[in-house]
Amino acid sequence: MLRRLYDWTLSLAAGPRANAALFGVSFAESSFFPLPPDILLVPMILARPERAYRLALWCGVASTLGGLLGYAIGALLYDTLGLWIINLYGYGEKMDAFRDAYAAYGAWIILLKGLTPIPYKLVTITSGFAGYDFLLFFLLSLVSRTLRFLAVAALLRRYGEPVREFIEKRLELSALLLLVVVVGGFVIVKYVI
């Protein structure tokens, strides 16, 4: 089953709807979707390495625009949809502390968390909830998210073939590593930050 899913993802990544799918996943991940856009970005870059940087820019722009939806959820719908999403991920009790941190370190929070695998939707919703300056939020998100995906593109441009070989030879281990990164991002936010 995992092999079929991997093959389907590769065929989607090389197909005519790849950019739309990448945009959709990147947009949704910044506001509510639990999986990172890397699940499509990595196979798309492996399928077409000459487009790596263009795909990373596309992913960064889509993620930033999705972040605007997350910001709106936090600013306009926090008591309903925003709180529900935050509680769904188990972070409800940390929101007041996170909001207080914004008063002193808002720009650093957005920049640093935008570069990590920590779920970015938590940053976007909290930015809206905390009333962080919208234009500054947009610019910091655009910089951090684009740099994050450009770093992935640069690594895959340099090490793409060995990465592809590793994934194809050790698909189960690769899926487990992806799961560890995704769950690890949530755990770090929940218990460390």
Task: Give the closest residue to 154 by CA, choosing from 22, 56, 26.
Answer: 56
pLDDT at 191: 60
| Distances in whole angstroms, Cα of residue 18 to Cα of each of 77, 121, 192 | 31, 23, 35
Flag whether pLDDT at 54 surpasses 70: yes
Give the pLDDT of residue 192. 53
Q: What is the pLDDT of residues 131-185, one digit of tens each?
A: 899 999 999 999 999 999 999 999 999 987 887 777 777 767 766 676 676 666 6
pTM to 2 decimal places: 0.79
- Residue 190 pLDDT level (bands cut at 50, 70, 90): low
pLDDT band at 83 (very low <50, low <70, confident <90, very high): confident
